Amino acid sequence: MRVLGIETSCDETGIAIYDTEKGLLANTLYSQVKLHADYGGVVPELASRDHVRKTLPLIEQTLANAGLTASDIDGVAYTAGPGLIGALLVGATIGRSLAFGWNVPAIGVHHMEGHLLAPMLEDRRPEFPFVALLVSGGHTQLVRVDGIGHYELLGESVDDAAGEAFDKTAKLLGLDYPGGPRLAKLAISGRPDRFQFPRPMTDKPGLNFSFSGLKTAAAQAIAKHGDDPQTHADIARAFEDAVVDTLIIKCRRALEQTGLKRLVMAGGVSANLRLREALEATMASLGGEVFYPRPEFCTDNGAMIALAGAQRLAAGSTEGLSVQVRPRWPLVELPAI
């Protein structure tokens, strides 16, 4: 089965074609970073309008890259949530309309399920069951995964997600949008022993996260110690170290609680090199394995949507003619297949 995947949940238009027998056939991505940079963050209306302009041309380009035509597509998958409602409606409307015109089934995909399954795009794939750490701009969650749709939420952020905290702290440091990757780059030249920020909620039992206080600690350090370049680098390093340590502590707890030895990490923050190195060291010490997608599949992309959609379409799931999107959509509400 060849499935066209459409991702338009926020500020990136991702189109891909996934074949259940041959794997990923084509993947195309257009980023709106330059469009939103002047505003210091995503402007929802501008994002929606840009998806309207870019989605159909990218679909045509992706089909051409794969050497396919519309008649070769067996199903269409589109992101139905969570995300910006206007952006979601663009992809969902186009996806549902194409499926109707091509007389193939369509399926609305959960954005975070796409991230969760993204490591399956690699040659080295995790087997079920495993613990998943989902870290992105909007979500920080620990999930036990026993199969597709068999999800148990173990813990989540009670305020800012890790990626959101990265972006907000980067803005405090005067870094341009998107701030998270720029903060990580700045942290490379930071001294690890100058500042010590808290590891939130690690002194309490449980698997929930909180990052808003960590952002506040960074803001106070900036206000107190000035804004010279080295100080900013030192603060960035301390902030990154605190986030990484917090995530590692919670992952260890989740693995101990579940008795599992496999950990999957996915979402935009999973591209962070310091976090990857720390998780690899942790899993090696535990005699376990860690899996994550290559950097291009960590951020929003059509490949993960095509893959997730293909799994559900192959299992017989499909959507009706009505277009439904869900800006807020708990992962655990997904049906199992």
Annotated binding-site positions for substrate? 134-138, 167, 180, 272
For the chain, the residue count is 337
**Cα angle for residues 171, 91, 36 (degrees, 5° grid):** 20
Query: Pairing relation of β-strands 140-147 and 150-156?
Result: antiparallel
Q: In terms of C-beta density within 10 A (0-12 exposed, 13-18 middle, 19 or more buried), how is residue 293 classed?
A: buried
Sequence-distant (≥ 6) Cβ neighbours of residue 121 within 8 angstroms: 23, 24, 293, 294, 297, 303, 304, 307
CB 135 within 8 A of CB 279: no
CB 309 within 8 A of CB 5: yes
Binding site members for Fe cation: 111, 115, 300
The two structure tokens encoding residue 213: 């206080």
CB 35 within 8 A of CB 18: no
Binding site members: 111, 115, 134-138, 167, 180, 272, 300
How many angstroms separate the CA atoms of 25 and 62, rounded?
9
Single out the residue of 7, 68, 61 nearest to residue 302, CA to CA: 7
β-sheet bridge partners, residue 106: 76
The two structure tokens encoding residue 322: 């009505």
CB 264 within 8 A of CB 145: yes
Amino acid in position 306: A
Single out the residue of 95, 10, 5, 3 nearest to residue 268, CA to CA: 10
